[in-house]
Structure 1
Amino acid sequence: MATRARRPERREEPLTRERIVEAAVELLDTAGERGLTFRALAERLATGPGAIYWHVTGKNELLNAATDAVVADTVGSYAAATTPREAIHALALGVFDAIDAHPWIGTQITRTPSQTPMLGVFEHLGRQVRALGVPHAAHFTAASALLSYILGVGGQNAANARGVEPGTNRTEFLDAAATTWEDLDPDEYAFTRSVAGQLREHDDRAEFLAGLDLFLTGITALREPTDPAVPS
């Protein structure tokens, strides 16, 4: 009787913390925080929940690690900047785009203000605030205001994107919203009606940077004056 040839065993990629975090980010992107369970993660990784617990103690640690992984890539995005303002622009846009791509991190960052992900962004913003020549007494206020603006606008932009009806593109959505503004009562909403056209045509990232520059203009106004050159 002919013997049946044995099929070679497929070598599986070893389970590591990095693989687990990468899979968690993918699951969060598709299913949100509620969809991130160790059962779902185990199915995605073709392993058992116990093997995951060997690397991660629980869901909170996993959420922090996933957020840290996304933010770490963002923080490195401003390395090529040549001035403090350019560095803040690059870092802010990095966080803005990261929240747009991974809406769950906006909530997660603000939920853990004393932990690594938000501290990393705050630290790098603070260094650039200091490089702008802002007095030490205003460092905390300036960096905190910038961080609140970045996270707030980034989170709102992501929420707006999720609120668009399926099958409706951004242009159609903004056109409908602008039309609604134009139809408002002219006495009660005089200002809102006057900027309806700007709502229809605006670019989210450009508006985000324009608002950031308003903050930076105020912050740089606090700059400590330099001593005038002493005449020779």
Structure 2
Amino acid sequence: MEAVLTAAVALLDEAGQSALTFRALAARLGTGVGTIYWYVSSKDELFDRATDHAVGAILTAVEEQPQSDDPIADLREMAITLFDAMMDRPWLAAYFMRNTDVQGHSLRLYEKLGQQTLRLDLTPRQRFHAVSAIVGVVVGTAADLGAELPQEVLNGEVNRVEYLSRYAESWRRLDAAEFPFVHEIADEFAEHDDRDQFLAALELTLAGLRLQAETP
């Protein structure tokens, strides 16, 4: 199973979801397609197990992080670790925690996040909502940023800055009275850094959590 999952993750890393087929995996392992079915019963299970295999390394990194006196700071470090791993593997966000009956590492990582909220004065519902919000910010942002790039960017016809600047320029030409917000942030959009944008969203989420935990 270890060899099968390692090869599956390698195919996903190299060319994304479309690259992982039973035929391609069998060819990578130098075996027949029938052999793969000894280990997984379907393509869905293969994706879930490959995802969990990759999440194992993230879980190890999170478990090795020292615990501080501030659970929210620890949540921040865990969330950033997960986000950076998903940016390195854009396919990962689509399958994270899709089936926790199979994805034991993913469930354990979810548990590690949740345990930090046990250190805060929150109700069970608030804890559930807090971890859901953090995972949503991490996975949702990673999935959005990991989406397939426009063909002209992939082809090298324009770079990322040129592509964003084109839209920013079109926003600047809009009626400022009708679109005051879009006018206000056009320059920020044109020059924004994706990771900084994620960190800002995470900070907003954690600030709300801290406020909730500190409110009598």
Q: Percent identity among equivalent residues? A: 37
Higher Rg of the two aligned structures:
1
1:8-19 aligned within 5 A? 17-19=1-3
The answer to whether 1:183 aligns with 2:168 is: no
* Structure 2 counterpart of 1:13: none
Relative distance call for 1:30 and 1:57 in structure 2 (3 A) is same
Which structure is higher in RCO with an 8 Å CA cutoff and minimum separation 6?
2
Deviation by residue 1:164-220 (Cα, 9 ceiling, x = unmatched) = 622133222222232222222212211011111111222211221111111111111
Deviation by residue 1:62-111 (Cα, 9 ceiling, x = unmatched) = 21111002222223333324342332222222222233232222222264
Alignment partner of 2:53 out of 69, 79, 100: 69
Alignment partner of 1:80 out of 58, 65, 74: 65
Q: 2:54, 2:114 → 1: CA distance?
A: 20
The answer to whether 1:196 aligns with 2:180 is: no
Q: Is the 8 Å Cα contact of residues 122 and 144 (structure 1) preserved in structure 2?
A: no
* Structure 2 counterpart of 1:23: 7
Q: 1:111, 1:189 → 2: CA distance?
A: 39
Q: 1:80, 1:40 → 2: CA distance?
A: 37
Relative distance call for 1:217 and 1:53 in structure 2 (3 A) is same
* Structure 1 counterpart of 2:134: 146
The answer to whether 1:124 aligns with 2:128 is: no
Q: 2:120, 2:161 → 1: CA distance?
A: 38
Relative distance call for 1:70 and 1:211 in structure 2 (3 A) is same
Q: 1:102, 1:171 → 2: CA distance?
A: 22
Which stretch of the first structure deviates more once superposed, 86-95 or 34-43? 86-95
TM-score normalised per structure 1 = 0.78
Superposition deviation, residue 21 in structure 1: 0.8
Deviation by residue 1:129-174 (Cα, 9 ceiling, x = unmatched) = 2223333341111111221222111111112x62362213322222
The answer to whether 1:56 aligns with 2:53 is: no
* Counterpart AA for 1:142: A
Superposition deviation, residue 54 in structure 1: 2.6
* Structure 2 counterpart of 1:99: 86
Q: Is the 8 Å Cα contact of residues 72 and 210 (structure 2) preserved in structure 1?
A: no
* Structure 1 counterpart of 2:202: 212
Q: 1:183, 1:114 → 2: CA distance?
A: 52
Question: Alignment length, in residue pairs?
Answer: 209
State the secondary structure of the residue aligned to 2:41. Answer: coil
- Structure 2 gaps of 5+ residues are none
Output the aligned Cα RMSD.
Answer: 2.4
- Structure 1 gaps of 5+ residues are 1-16, 227-232
